Amino acid sequence: MEVEVLAVSSGGSTKHAKHSMLKLYDWRYATQLRQDHKIGRWTPYHVDTYRAFVENGGAAKFVSALEDTNSIDDQPWDTAHNEAFLFDYCRDLYSCEVKAYNRLKDLQGKHVPRLLADVRFNAFPTQNAFFEVPGILLELVKGYSLADLTKFALQSSWQRICDDAVRTINLISDYGILNEDVKPRNILIRTYDDLSEYEIVVVDFAQCRFREIGQPEAAWKHEKWRQDEEGAIGYVMAQKLKGAFKYKPSGGRYAEKVMFKSLYLAHI
């Protein structure tokens, strides 16, 4: 969501306001996530049930057990367990995204938004880590998404913009990041007063894997090849633009072979 951030002087007076993007990892209103896991909307019943589960220590024990699949029994989950699962899932998404932005410090403000602040607030009056909603405050990128390219850019520029988007995805990959959520709507084209100028900005890094110290090159190369992040842009945009964009796989160090195009068409 777009928010207005007030800058306050040392004397306490407001100096100016700046528009930024606030991204919250709030399990209560994560509509798509709740639908994916067949968990109903957040209601007063969910409030009371989850609060009791947290306050009696059950949530902490359950989330700890989630990290050790051998300690999870076969009993069906009830409402309290579902809410604790969603809370933990959203917290993991937040941690993943912050880790990605930290790895991409060199690209912040250019090919990824600047990470301005780490924010948190309590969803309940009582202080408890399991009531906390984390979030990040990001630089607001003015422009449009690659998914809306045909609405905002001249056809003569489509090839150049899509080529730049593919190059940017590969640039980010060089920072030891494997993004499992690459799709056109997560690629922004930052626009300027001079309409001929633009910049490719990638957003949404909550579903990433990272190359860790000591991971063999061959293993990482295979993971990157299987994901084929640039193909998730190249093949999809080539299909969407119906021949107005010609995608040619870059043949980089992860391109052992061309992935099947049909794998990406569902992302359009």
Distance between CA atoms of residues 100 and 203, nearest Å: 10
Task: Read off the pTM.
Answer: 0.86
* Cα(61)–Cα(54) distance, integer angstroms: 9
How far apart are alpha carbons 115 and 211 in whole angstroms? Answer: 21
pLDDT in tens, the chain (268 residues): 777 776 655 555 555 557 899 999 999 999 999 999 999 999 999 999 999 999 999 999 999 988 876 556 667 899 999 999 999 999 999 999 999 999 999 999 999 999 999 999 999 999 999 999 999 999 999 999 999 999 999 999 999 999 999 999 999 999 999 999 999 999 999 998 876 789 999 999 999 999 988 889 889 888 988 899 999 999 999 999 999 999 999 865 555 444 444 444 444 4
- Quote the pLDDT of residue 41: 95
| Sheet of strand 2-8, all strands in order from the earlier edge strand to the far edge | 2-8, 14-24, 132-139, 115-122
What pLDDT is recorded for position 23? Answer: 96
In this prediction, residue 212 carries a pLDDT of 87
d(CA 34, CA 56): 24
